């Protein structure tokens, strides 16, 4: 059994190489054909979507998992065509290639498909309204995947971080070691979600006798602000000896930290449908953070 994994060098892709291994042989891909450890792998260039169908045909996998995407949220405002090629056109071609082979296609989407004006966790069937190019390109990707047929699983996730890669956690640990005081946005609410959780749940869903299909929300449970997440990171890091001291973290507004692209003010997502499929509750975001910090401390 061969599983084709696209985007194997990202933080979720890295964890998927681990979580999917018990299900079969993993054929990993990156844009360069090289893995972070220097190993070679297949090339999948999402800036050239027309090359991806041939890859699926040649590898002949039993499933395709797409963890590749254009994720530069602010840069996307100036590179709309590139964002849509990678996030909409490429997934559509992959989904169509999978449909032609009769195999499942797993694809990841984002909380950015919502406008953030809600006050309760978003359900899968609620109206989408992206605020910027990145969210619009990811929503377009959902639509192209759905148009290819029913044998797909779209997993919307949010606030992704991990022990490796470029993410909020790694940035906070670096800044916490360098500075005595930080300003962090406190008027955006969401759910920090570790990459390992996304990967583990994906493997569980693929391994089920009756695999899930359609669209599901996949985050940790609970919610916080970026400011609350930063405070939890610093406290947890100091407890584990990763920081010598806890810096002062002051709350600021989004207006005080302007970005090229607007972010959803509220992006918690309802995970009850996924919990029903799994038959178990998803861990609280603080539990996920503790596990990732433990991993970093032991490294």
Active-site residue list: 134
Please tell me the distance from the alpha carbon of residue 299 to that of residue 297, in angstroms, as a whole number.
6
The helix (H) or strand (E) run that includes residue 225 is strand 224-225
Cβ contacts of residue 258 below 8 Å, gap of 6+? none
Sole residue written with tokens 């499942």: 104
Q: What angle do CA 162, 194, 184 make, to 5 degrees?
A: 75
The helix (H) or strand (E) run that includes residue 64 is strand 63-66
Q: Which two tokens stand for residue 136?
A: 């619009």
Q: DSSP secondary structure string, 33-79?
A: SB-TTS-B-EE--TT-GGGHHHHHHHH--SEEEE------TTGGGT-
């Amino acid at each position: 059994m061969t599983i084709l994994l696209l985007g194997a060098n990202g933080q979720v892709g890295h964890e998927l190489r681990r979580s999917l291994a018990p299900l079969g042989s993993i054929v990993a891909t990156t844009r360069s054909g090289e893995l972070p450890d220097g190993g070679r792998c297949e090339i999948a260039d999402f800036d050239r979507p027309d090359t991806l169908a041939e890859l699926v045909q040649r590898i002949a996998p039993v499933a395709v998992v797409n963890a590749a995407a254009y994720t530069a949220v602010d840069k996307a405002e100036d590179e709309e065509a590139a964002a849509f090629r990678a996030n909409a056109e490429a997934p559509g071609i992959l989904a169509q290639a999978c449909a032609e082979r009769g195999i499942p296609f797993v694809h990841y989407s984002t909380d950015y498909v919502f406008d953030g004006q809600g006050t309760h966790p978003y359900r899968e069937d609620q109206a989408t309204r992206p605020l910027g190019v990145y969210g619009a390109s990811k929503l377009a990707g959902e639509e192209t995947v759905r148009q290819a047929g029913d044998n797909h699983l779209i997993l919307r996730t949010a606030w992704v971080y991990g022990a490796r890669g470029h993410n909020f956690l790694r940035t906070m640990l670096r800044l916490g070691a360098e500075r005595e005081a930080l300003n962090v946005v406190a008027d955006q609410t969401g759910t920090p979600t570790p990459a390992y959780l996304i990967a583990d749940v994906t493997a569980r869903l693929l391994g089920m006798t009756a695999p899930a299909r359609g669209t599901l929300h996949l985050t940790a449970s609970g919610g916080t602000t970026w400011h609350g997440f930063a405070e939890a990171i610093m406290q947890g890091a100091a407890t584990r000896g990763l920081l010598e001291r806890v810096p002062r973290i002051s709350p600021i507004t989004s207006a005080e930290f302007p970005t090229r692209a607007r972010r959803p003010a509220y992006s918690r997502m309802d995970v009850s449908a996924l919990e029903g499929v799994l038959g178990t509750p998803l861990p609280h975001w603080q539990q996920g953070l503790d596990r990732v910090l433990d991993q970093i401390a032991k490294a």
